[in-house]
Structure 1
Amino acid sequence: MLDINLLRKDLPSVVARLETRKKDQPYLDVARFTALEAERKTLQTRSEEIQARRNALNKQIGPLKAKGESVEALMAEVGALKSEQESSATRLEALQPELQALLLGVPNLPHASVPVGSSEADNVEVRRWAPVGGAGADAPALSFEPRDHVSLGEPLGLDFEMGVKLAGSRFTVMKGSIARLHRALAQFMIDLQTQQHGYTECYVPYIVNTDTLRGTGQLPKFEGDLFAAKKGGQDAEPVPDTQALYLIPTSEVPLTNFVRDTVTPEAQLPLRLTAHTPCFRSEAGSAGRDTRGMIRQHQFDKVEMVQITHPEHSYDALEQMVGHAEAVLQALELPYRVVLLCTGDMGAGAAKTYDLEVWLPAQDTYREISSVSNCEAFQARRMQARFKNAQGKNELVHTLNGSGLAVGRALVALLENHQRADGSIGIPKALQPYLGGCEELRAG
């Protein structure tokens, strides 16, 4: 959530920065905000005037009473002023949630270093890497016609028909060697983040409440992207909105909320947290996109990285986290590129985002496999996540999150990039210990 003082001090500048995002989306009802602010100022000014008048009258009443003079008129005025002040206080109290509800739908302001643009076409490539030539190299071409992960994976136990049978479209079943490879990837990633990059491994709920989702910005704006979890039983009573439960779209949600309503000692910053969890997304806006294979699923696994930092260090942490995600891709010998997202392609909570896109030979293109964002104080303000600074005052932390990595997409990339002409799959050296020393996967 934005600092309301930014809007109060310079509303046109805030609106202009918001409009560098997608211009066809009205992020802020300016007329409504202006009206509510004008009413708030009027009420506050009038309340201060009333209080000053009451104080003045009360000073007069005592001496007049002592002289035996009538104070009925003054007492009547004090009573009327008190009633008006109470009425103003009631309306002011009601205005706060109205303003808050308005702000909950407003995205973060893009950082000054983010390129202005309207779509992914305006994103800026920062660098690329490939295992043969290293940094700056193009992805090596295969010496044969590449097969996609669907045809490569099905003989190894990738079963899309069973996924549809059990749950519907955009669900997948893995059996045998492909299931083992999927598990090995997740274990390798979590070990790398904890043993080499200093993250604390966490186990978190896969179902969270509305306060948790509101804290990281999924609610109320993106409820349509979530899967609601309903308590069963014929006699189950309706659940209040504040206690509604949802499947997590990413473990960023519970991990970041560790610091909700908390004052973290500055000496404990930065907090580095990671978790391997399934993620659940309705993919409401993706009808007709990536219908073949595992690229866009309702359920997928991800190793998430979260950092809670001092505001002065969050942009150093952002670059660091991009490097932590890159380390996974390099260890798996997967070609990729790093892209700085433009204003129109960023998520609502982000002030700055880098995407890591892995090369997929069968698609002859790069596809996103990790997104790393600095949300600055946007989430912290919603969560009231603070630390005590050197001056002894409570200050909002900065929150960052990123994939380290999406396990299913890493599986797709490994199958396609390490395929051989005979359909077997080479296993990168870094992953072999997680597969009992296995150097390749073959059907049968």
Structure 2
Amino acid sequence: MIDIKKIRKDPDFYKEKLGTRGLPAAEIDEVIALDKKRRELLQETENLKAERNEASKQIGAAKRAKQPADEAIAKMRAVGQKIKELDEQVEANDAILNDKLSRLPNVPHEGVPVGLTEEGAVEMRKVGNVREFDFEPKHHWDIGEELGILDFDRGAKVSGARFVYYVGLGAQLERAVYNFMLDEHMKEGYTEVLPPYIVKAQAMYGTGQFPKFKEGVYQVNGEDMTLIPTAEVPLTNYYSGEVIPEAELPVYVTALTPCFRSEAGAAGRDTRGLIRMHQFNKVEMVKYTKPEDSWEELEKMTANAENILQKLGLPYHVIKLTTGDMSFTASETHDLELWMPAQNKYREVSSCSNCLDFQARRMHTQYRDENGKLQYVHTLNGSGLAVGRTVAAILENYQNADGSVTVPEVLVPYFHGITKITKENAVPFRSKARK
């Protein structure tokens, strides 16, 4: 959340910067008007409280002098009633103001390319060589279905569209990928966490998913409990309402969790395959840092995500997203996109973002600096990586002409020594039946 004091001080700056994210200037004008009204109501309340105090003194003096104080008592009661009414107006005004503030996106950092769509994103670097096939590369869903390791039909039968069964070596490949990811992140100093998969509405508010993006999640138990759309939510809220000891900063945490998304508005997009599922696994990275360190930590986090792709031997590029394409809470985002041979294009597998103090203000997460003053931490988050999309890229980039898939060398130790997925070994119970 943006500090109202900063908006009050320079509203034109926020109109300009948030305008690059598609926010109408009128939204800032409404916030300014509500803030002005709040301060006027509070000033009126303070004036009336002074009147009430004066009336109280008059009543006390009259009682000590054994004189009637009916007029002063009546005045104090009238003033008290007016104060109560003003307090109710302040409360109602605050509710509207806070709702308006909670819907303002973060301010884009200098250097973020301006644009309301993904067009205009800047490629920062391209890594790895795109493989040249001597046969027509297949889509990962065709590869998986032919090997029997991905079963979309039974996923749809049991749960509906955008669900899948991983079977046999498909399930083992998914497990190998996320165990490899977690191990690599722990080498980089991250602490592994196994967080809750269901969170309160306040936690969703803290990381910026609520109130604006309620339609994109699965809620249970009425309005209060939500299946997490990303491990960012429970990881970033770990210190909500707390003061982190300065000596502990920066804090690095990582987690593997399932993620649940309704994919509202995604009708017709990526209807086949593992790219856009209602349930998928993701390894998440989250950092809490001092403000002066957060930009350096963003570069490190991006490198942590890249490390996974480099060791898997998957070609990718890194792009800096436009102002309009970044997440609501981000001030700058670096996307890693994997090369998908069958689609002949790059697809996102990770977003690494610096949220500055935007989330910390919503969560009231602070630290005490060397002068003893409370400061808001900066929070960062990044996929390290989306597991299903990584599996999809492995299937496509490591496919062979005979329909088999070579296992990336770094995954072989996690794969019980298996170096290739074939029709003969992919699903043990089917191989047994064939014998």
Segment drifting more, 93-102 vs 62-71: 62-71
Query: 5+ unaligned residues in a row in structure 1: which ranges?
Result: 131-137, 231-238
Q: Is the 8 A contact 1:269 1:308 kept in 2?
A: yes
Letter aligned with residue 290 of structure 1: D
User: What displacement does 1:80 show?
Assistant: 3.8
User: What displacement does 1:11 show?
Assistant: 2.0
Change (3 A) 1:352 1:61: same
Mapping 1:28-43, distance limit 5 Å: 29-30=27-28, 32-43=30-41
* C-alpha distance in 2 between matches for 1:355 and 1:35: 37
- Is 1:188 paired with 2:168? no
**How many residues of Structure 1 are paired with residues of Structure 2 in the alignment?**
423
Segment drifting more, 388-397 vs 164-173: 388-397
Q: Deviations over 1:84-106 (max 9, x none)?
A: 33432332233222211221222
* C-alpha distance in 2 between matches for 1:55 and 1:391: 38
Q: Deviations over 1:301-352 (max 9, x none)?
A: 1110011111111111111100000000001000000000010101111111
Segment drifting more, 70-79 vs 92-101: 70-79
Which residue of 2 is the match for residue 17 of structure 1?
17
Q: Is the 8 A contact 1:110 1:350 kept in 2?
A: yes
Q: Is the 8 A contact 1:376 1:399 kept in 2?
A: yes
User: What displacement does 1:142 show?
Assistant: 2.3
RMSD of Structure 2 on Structure 1 (CA)? 2.2
* C-alpha distance in 2 between matches for 1:367 and 1:91: 50
Secondary structure of the structure 1 residue equivalent to 2:399: coil
Which residue of 1 is the match for residue 336 of structure 2?
356
Which residue of 2 is the match for residue 125 of structure 1?
123
Q: Deviations over 1:127-184 (max 9, x none)?
A: 0100xxxxxxx52322332111122212332111111111111111111111111111
* C-alpha distance in 2 between matches for 1:158 and 1:28: 49
Aligned counterpart in structure 2 of residue 383 of structure 1, from 363, 383, 397: 363
Mapping 1:147-296, distance limit 5 Å: 147-156=138-147, 157-194=149-186, 196-230=187-221, 239=222, 241=223, 244-296=224-276
Secondary structure of the structure 2 residue equivalent to 1:169: coil
Aligned counterpart in structure 1 of residue 83 of structure 2, from 78, 85, 96: 85
Q: Is the 8 A contact 1:153 1:415 kept in 2?
A: yes
Q: Is the 8 A contact 1:28 1:105 kept in 2?
A: no
* C-alpha distance in 2 between matches for 1:208 and 1:385: 18
Q: Deviations over 1:240-268 (max 9, x none)?
A: x4xx2221111111111101111111111
TM-score, normalisation: structure 1: 0.89
* C-alpha distance in 2 between matches for 1:429 and 1:151: 23
- Is 1:106 paired with 2:104? yes
Q: Is the 8 A contact 1:201 1:273 kept in 2?
A: yes
Change (3 A) 1:177 1:58: closer
Q: Is the 8 A contact 2:15 2:24 kept in 1?
A: no
* C-alpha distance in 1 between matches for 2:64 and 2:145: 98
* C-alpha distance in 2 between matches for 1:264 and 1:66: 54
Q: Deviations over 1:257-314 (max 9, x none)?
A: 1011111111111111111111111111111011121111111111100111111111
Which residue of 2 is the match for residue 135 of structure 1?
none
Which residue of 2 is the match for residue 431 of structure 1?
411
Q: Is the 8 A contact 1:27 1:106 kept in 2?
A: no
Q: Is the 8 A contact 2:193 2:253 kept in 1?
A: yes
Secondary structure of the structure 1 residue equivalent to 2:409: coil
Change (3 A) 1:144 1:27: farther
* C-alpha distance in 1 between matches for 2:61 and 2:207: 58
Query: 5+ unaligned residues in a row in structure 2: which ranges?
Result: 425-435
Letter aligned with residue 107 of structure 2: L
Change (3 A) 1:409 1:78: same
Q: Percent identity?
A: 46
User: What displacement does 1:69 show?
Assistant: 8.0
Which residue of 2 is the match for residue 234 of structure 1?
none
